[in-house]
């Protein structure tokens, strides 16, 4: 029987590698359950993780090393780490004040195609921004969520997306800038772009946001878009 209830866990501030290892462990468990399940059963270990990370840059499989604009010694100076990882996409930054979402879910069990899954992640953030009276959308040829798409020179990204899928089970996910220190983006070409900026909910509203409140709104919007019930653990 397909279960539309999926556990939700807020990991708080967690080291990037620790969260990566947790995702890998969870994905392996979901895949094993999936392979052993009877027809129509959903893996019980599916989970949606939210977290924040200490300062870290991650480079996806299709990324270019030169999009990190600083040497290793400078990484130490700004108290940041760097990882080459197994998701799609180019380089991005994670740090405190950013909601990072890691759904580890079985797309096959949920009846969702990969392309639609990316759209649904974007839509969840777009609806969250609409809740805060901010108009956002998608950029042709680029994943993520953007503001002022139709205004050349002002287009800016507020949420990056990069996923990995194994046997239709997902990991990695999205990074939504809420109270993020945007200065850290000056050391990279975000997602490989050299002609577009980045922004945050705090910058757009000119107000420091309540992270717990934004997480709650986003969790509700994800539940609506994916038509599941995210159960807080």
- The single-letter DSSP state of residue 54 is S
Q: How many residues does the chain have?
A: 233
The pLDDT, as a whole number, for residue 190 is 59
The pLDDT-based confidence of 1 (bands split at 50, 70, 90) is very low
Q: What is the reported pLDDT for 195? A: 62
In angstroms, what CA-CA distances link 98 with 54, 92, 109, 128, 167?
10, 12, 29, 14, 29
* Candidates 191, 211, 222, 230; catalytic one: 191
Would you state the pLDDT for residue 149? 92
Domain map of the chain by residue range? 5-232
> Which pLDDT tens digit goes with each residue over 95-126?
999 999 999 999 999 999 999 999 999 999 99
Looking at per-residue pLDDT, the higher value among 209 and 84 belongs to 209
Q: C-alpha distances in angstroms, 130 versus 54, 79, 126, 206?
A: 28, 34, 6, 16
Pick the CATH number of 5-232 from 3.40.50.300, 3.30.70.330, 1.10.20.10, 3.30.930.10: 3.30.930.10
pLDDT in tens, 137-170: 999 888 899 999 988 889 999 999 999 999 999 9
pTM of the predicted protein model: 0.92
Pick from 68-72, 100-104, 185-189, 211-215: least confident: 68-72
Quickly state the pLDDT bin for 191 (edges 50, 70, 90).
low
Q: Whole-angstrom Cα distance, residue 173 to residue 21?
A: 15
What whole-number distance in Å separates Cα of residue 32 and Cα of residue 38?
Answer: 12
Confidence of residue 192 (pLDDT cuts 50, 70, 90): low
Active site residue 191: yes
């Amino acid at each position: 029987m397909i279960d539309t209830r999926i556990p939700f866990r807020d990991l708080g501030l967690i080291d990037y590698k620790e969260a990566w290892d947790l995702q890998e462990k969870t994905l392996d468990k979901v895949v094993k359950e999936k392979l052993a399940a009877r027809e129509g059963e959903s893996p019980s270990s599916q989970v949606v993780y939210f977290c924040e990370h200490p300062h870290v840059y991650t480079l996806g499989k299709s990324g270019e090393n030169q999009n990190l604009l600083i040497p290793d010694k400078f990484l130490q100076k700004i108290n940041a780490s760097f990882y080459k990882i197994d998701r799609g996409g180019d380089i991005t930054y994670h740090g405190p004040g950013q909601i990072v979402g890691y759904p580890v879910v079985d797309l096959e069990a949920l009846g969702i195609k990969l392309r639609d899954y990316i759209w649904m992640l974007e839509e969840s953030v777009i609806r969250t921004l609409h809740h805060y009276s901010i108009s956002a959308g998608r950029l042709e040829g680029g994943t993520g969520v953007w503001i002022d798409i139709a205004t050349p020179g002002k287009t800016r990204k507020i949420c990056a997306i990069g996923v990995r899928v194994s046997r239709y089970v997902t990991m990695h996910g999205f990074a939504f800038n809420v109270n993020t220190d945007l200065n850290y983006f000056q050391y990279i070409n975000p997602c490989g772009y050299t002609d577009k900026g980045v922004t945050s909910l705090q910058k757009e509203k000119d107000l420091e946001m309540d992270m717990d409140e934004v997480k709650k709104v986003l969790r509700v919007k994800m539940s609506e878009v994916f038509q599941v019930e995210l159960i807080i653990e």
